[in-house]
Amino acid sequence: MSDLDLNSLLGTEDDEGRSRRRARGSGKRGGNRRRRRRRNRGGFIAPLLAFVVLAGIIGGGGYYGYLWVSDALVPDDYTGQGTGEVIVEIKDGQSASEVAEELVRLGVVASARAFSTAIGNAGKSGSLQPGQYKMRKKMAAADAVAMLSPENKLLAKVGVKEGLRLSDTLTTLAKATGKPAKGFAAAAKDTADLDLPSYAKGKLEGYAFPATYEFPPNATPAQILGTMVKRFNQTADEVDLEGGAKALGRKPQDIVVIASIIQAEAGRFEDMPKIARVIYNRLDRDPEMKLEMDSTVMYALNKYRTAATIAETKTKSRYNTYMYLGLPPGPISNPGQHAIEAALNPAKGDWLYFVATDPNSRVTKFATTEAERQALLAEYKRNGG
pLDDT in tens, 155-198: 888 999 999 999 999 999 999 998 999 999 999 999 999 999 99
Give the separation between CA 230 and CA 215, rounded to whole angstroms. Answer: 14
Structural domain includes residue 223: yes
Tens of pLDDT, residues 73-104: 689 999 988 999 999 989 888 999 999 999 99
DSSP per position, 63-125 = HHHHHHHHHHHS-----SS-EEEEEEEEPTT--HHHHHHHHHHTTSSS-HHHHHHHHHHTT-T
> How many Cα atoms within 13 Å fall on the side-chain side of residue 332?
27
Q: What is the DSSP letter of 210?
A: -
Tell me what the pLDDT averaged over the chain comes to. 86
Residue 375 placed within a domain: no
Q: Sign of dihedral through CA atoms 116, 120, 123, 126?
A: positive
Q: Does position 299 have pLDDT exceeding 80, yes or no? A: yes
In a domain, 10, yes or no: yes
- Please state, in angstroms and rounded to a whole number, the distance separating the CA atoms of residues 137 and 143: 11
Could you say which of 215, 238, 261 is where a domain stops? Answer: 238
User: In the predicted model, what is the mean pLDDT of residues 68-76?
Assistant: 64
Q: How many domains does the chain have?
A: 4
Contacts of 131 (CB under 8 A, 6+ apart): 89, 90, 150, 153, 154, 155, 216
pLDDT tens sequence across 237-275: 999 999 999 999 999 999 999 999 999 999 999 999 999
The residue segments making up the domain with residue 294 are 241-351
pLDDT band at 210 (very low <50, low <70, confident <90, very high): very high
As a whole number of angstroms, the distance between CA 156 and CA 224 comes to 11
Residues 367, 370, 373, 375, Cα dihedral to 10°: -120
Tell me the average pLDDT across 135-140: 95
Confirm if 197 and 207 have CB atoms less than 8 A apart.
yes
Q: Please check whether residue 138 is in contact with residue 107, taking contact to mean a CB–CB distance below 8 angstroms.
A: yes
182 and 167 in a common domain: yes
Report pLDDT digits (tens) over 319-348.
Answer: 999 999 999 999 999 999 999 999 999 999
Q: Do both 245 and 344 map to the same domain?
A: yes
pLDDT at 49: 56
| Distance (Å, whole) CA 273 – CA 255 | 13
- Domain of 143, CATH number, reads 3.30.1490.480
Domain boundary (132, 152, 172) is at 152
Model confidence pTM above 0.85: no
Q: Is residue 191 one of the residues assigned to a domain?
A: yes
- The 10s digit of each residue's pLDDT in 43-56 is 556 555 555 545 55
- Three-class SS state of 54: helix
